[in-house]
Amino acid sequence: MKELVVQNYNHPSIVVWGLSNEITMGGENEELLANHRELNELCHSMDKTRLTTMAQVSMLDTTSEMNHVSDVISYNHYFGWYGGDVEDNAVWFDKFHEENPTICLGVSEYGCEAVLKWHTSKPEMGDYSEEYQAYYHYRMLETFRTRPYLWSTHVWNMFDFAADKRDEGGVKGRNNKGLVTFDRKTKKDSFFLYKAYWSEVPFIHLAKKRYVYRNEEKTEVLVYTNQASVSLYVNGVLFETKTGDKVFSFEVPLNKKTTKLMAVSGELKDKSIVKKVEKPYAAYNLEAESGAVTNWFDPEGNTVEVKIDPNYFSIKDKIKDIMANEEGKAMMDAFIAKMMSQMASREGGMDIPKGAMKMMLGFTIERIAKMAKEMIPEGAVSELNTELQKIKK
């Protein structure tokens, strides 16, 4: 900490000194709390002009003493990506602020992944589509601008970046949370959302340009701009003019093989095309490309394909949804108890904080299993899925 302050004391971009990041992921104890109090006092003794902060992780309970150490705090939240729904962020912020009105709260990380070849008209959490990432960031930006009590927000991340152990969204060795691609060349739709909210330079952007082949009778056309009105032209004819703020939505019928779109605001223009196809374009869908199965392991360690009937519960459902079903709850209670027992029996044991347990209810079993696969016995996931597929939704 001394080196950090001495080396960066005169750096103009340093706003606050950070004591730690997600340090309570493994739980809390008095020694950890005392250590942070010492670090906080050290920072203030070396620099009386700046505040201190900590980046907490979602699972840290809102009543934790760790939130009373630094001058301000922030949380890393991924509701709407790793678990829960994007709308859960607003609920959590308001609850925290109500319980802790004197604590200055910020958001030190938030984001979700988008791989530019995946597209859909019905974006869902975990589909890695450009459309879901744009929806997620739209909801987050709206959440932030209606909550002035947040002292800061930090989107994760500006660019896709290398991450050796990751294998998500059909891309190995990369974290795809960037608003811009890894090579810095292509701005994703979500980038232009931030431009609409933050930039004063006039611009207009037709979203979903890479989502060319669509099979619905009507399609949503989205326009992002910092202008007050937008006119949409369809095949050269004025379709509709709307006034609004940041995001403009139009429902356009697809009654031709090729539909040419042009968004206009004053002198600003942007164009795109949509091509009507008879059935969903499989190349846009991650699961369709991979065969709509999930690979796990049987009790002997052999790779097996786990097939999913969407009319029945499966490892792709959130734990809270499964447990809302009486039969599903009994099954999940037994599974969780078994996993906890096996974790506790490992060398050194494992204590899962109560905040983590509560947060996990918003995760799918598949998501948890992928994050903690070293701790889950081979065969457990596929066996559970087999049993869940017997319970009708």
The residues assigned a catalytic role are 22
Counts for the chain of helices (H) and strands (E), in that order: 11, 17
CB distance 31 to 23 below 8 Å: no
Tell me how far CA of residue 90 lies from CA of 49, 179, 202, in angstroms. Answer: 32, 22, 30
Continuous segment of H or E residues that includes residue 94: helix 88-99
d(CA 233, CA 337) in angstroms, rounded, equals: 59
Q: Could you tell me which of 20, 92, 31 has the C-alpha nearest to residue 355?
A: 92
d(CA 81, CA 177) in angstroms, rounded, equals: 10
Pairing of strands 150-155, 105-110: parallel
Distance between alpha carbon 380 and the CA centroid of its chain, in Å? Answer: 27
d(CA 277, CA 317) in angstroms, rounded, equals: 30
Token pair recorded at residue 178: 């960037």
CB distance 283 to 275 below 8 Å: no
The three-state secondary structure class of 62 is coil
Q: Which burial class, exposed, middle or buried, applies to 350 when counting CB atoms under 10 A from its CB (0-12, 13-18, 19+)?
A: middle
Q: What are phi and psi of 333, to 5 degrees?
A: -60, -45
What residues have CB less than 8 Å from 2, skipping those under 6 apart? 42, 46
The three-state secondary structure class of 103 is coil
CB distance 167 to 232 below 8 Å: no
The three-state secondary structure class of 380 is helix
Q: Give the dihedral sign, CA 252/255/258/260.
A: negative
* HSE, side-chain direction, 13 A CA sphere, residue 144: 19
